[in-house]
Amino acid sequence: MTTWLPAFQIIFLSLFLQGIPFLLIGSFLGAAISVFVPIRSLASRLPKSKIGGILIGTFAGLLIPSCECIGVPLVRRLIRNGLPPATAIAYLLASPVLNPVCLASTWIAFQYDNPLMAVLTRAGGAAFLAVSVALIFSRLPVGNIFRSGIVANDEPAGEAGLWENPPAAWLANKTPRLAAAISTGFSDFFGIAVYYLLGCLIAAVVQTALPPYAIPNTSPALLIPGFMGLSVITSLCSSADAFVAKSFAGYPLAALFAFMWLGAVLDLKLIFIYQSVFKRRTVLLLALLLAALVFALSLLAAYLPLERLFYGTTISG
């Protein structure tokens, strides 16, 4: 108990402090956009084809930088204001990696290896995941994917979260737009922060309960799930995980990229905050889908092998 409690507190607080500023920024950014930007008219100008909208969502993170903690509240609000769900899902899954901050941190972490190849590999994998999942989800009925009140024209948001104030109601009441934005940001922040707190709590408990990790350097087929599991448990921010991945010297690059590809879109805290947007069954489906796709992609990278693209040899750096 004497070592368990401080370790739990340190991990919980560090995870909490790592994400909460960005959750706040995402909530208020989403609220400001929903109040000041005509999302519906912008959405109507998106390409009519499904794949066109998904590709725009995938690469929008390069223009609207956001990590996963900003992305969830932002997307939640944008879907509610009329952004097509497939475009929103693609943005949600791609933006944690396809943003300038994450790509720069990946470049710095791999600066002594092959930074350009590292950035391209990471970004390519993230884009593949986002497009694949968005395409699969676009075939499902919207009502089965999202929580009630999340999609535009759905039933009122009162049941979706603890404190929901749809801006449309505010604007109908002729409330000043700034006040509407603050209030909406507030309610969005609370709608997600509760899940985030619970996610950090669970992640900290699991990290504290597990013994110090030791993954034996075996075959890629075993290493890749090991590193995928590690990324889910550690719940690191996508802008910092490249540094941690790079510190695992001697392991195949495919395992390190599995760690980065999956960790950016799926971890213990994200499983909780996704529940503020998706139905519980959808979160489970999303988790299984992402895990299967990352495993397949990483196996492919292992048998290329990725080392040959990075160093021109098969020896891991």
Partner 1 sequence: MNLSRINSRFFSRASLLFPALLLGLWGCVIFRLKTSGLLAELQSPTYHPFSIGTAAACLVLALCYPLVSDIKRQSGRSRWPRLILAILLLASPVIIFATLPQDSPTTGFLARRYSSTSSNMNIYQLLGIDQKDLLQDLQFRKQHAANGQSLELDMLELNFIANNSGLRKLYDQTPVNLSGQWLADANGNTQSFRLVQMIMFCCAADAKVLGVRVDGQPPGGQNGAWIDVFAVLRFNSSGTPYLILQQSKPQDDAPPPDLPLPQR
Which residues lie across from 146 on neighbouring strands?
Answer: 278
Q: Are 89 and 274 in contact (CB under 8 A)?
A: no
The yes or no reply on residue 9 touching partner 1 (CB under 8 A) is yes
> What distance in Å separates the CA atoms of residue 214 and residue 223, rounded to the nearest whole number?
11
Residues 277-316 that bind partner 1 (CB under 8 A): none
CB contact set of 104 (below 8 Å; sequence gap of 6+)? none
The yes or no reply on residue 148 touching partner 1 (CB under 8 A) is no
The yes or no reply on residue 3 touching partner 1 (CB under 8 A) is yes
Which part of the chain contacts partner 1 (CB under 8 A), choosing from 116-124, 145-153, 240-248, 276-284?
240-248
The yes or no reply on residue 234 touching partner 1 (CB under 8 A) is yes
Tokens in use for 137? Answer: 């989800």
Helices 115-138, 280-303: axis angle to 10 degrees equals: 140
The yes or no reply on residue 222 touching partner 1 (CB under 8 A) is no
The yes or no reply on residue 15 touching partner 1 (CB under 8 A) is yes
DSSP letters, 216-265, are: ----HHHHHHHHHHHHHHH---TTTHHHHHHTSTTS-HHHHHHHHHHHTT
The yes or no reply on residue 273 touching partner 1 (CB under 8 A) is no
Q: Quick one: 89 or 200, whose CB is closer to partner 1?
A: 200
The yes or no reply on residue 248 touching partner 1 (CB under 8 A) is yes
Residue identified by tokens 């790592």 is 18
The yes or no reply on residue 162 touching partner 1 (CB under 8 A) is yes
Residue identified by tokens 């998904």 is 54
The yes or no reply on residue 240 touching partner 1 (CB under 8 A) is yes
The yes or no reply on residue 21 touching partner 1 (CB under 8 A) is yes
The yes or no reply on residue 6 touching partner 1 (CB under 8 A) is yes
Q: Of 118, 116, 101, nearest to 64 (Cα)? A: 101
Q: Applying CB under 8 A, which residues contact partner 1?
A: 2-7, 9-15, 17-18, 20-22, 24, 108-109, 111-112, 158-159, 162-165, 170, 179, 182-183, 186, 190, 194, 197, 201, 207-208, 212-215, 234-237, 239-241, 243-244, 246-250
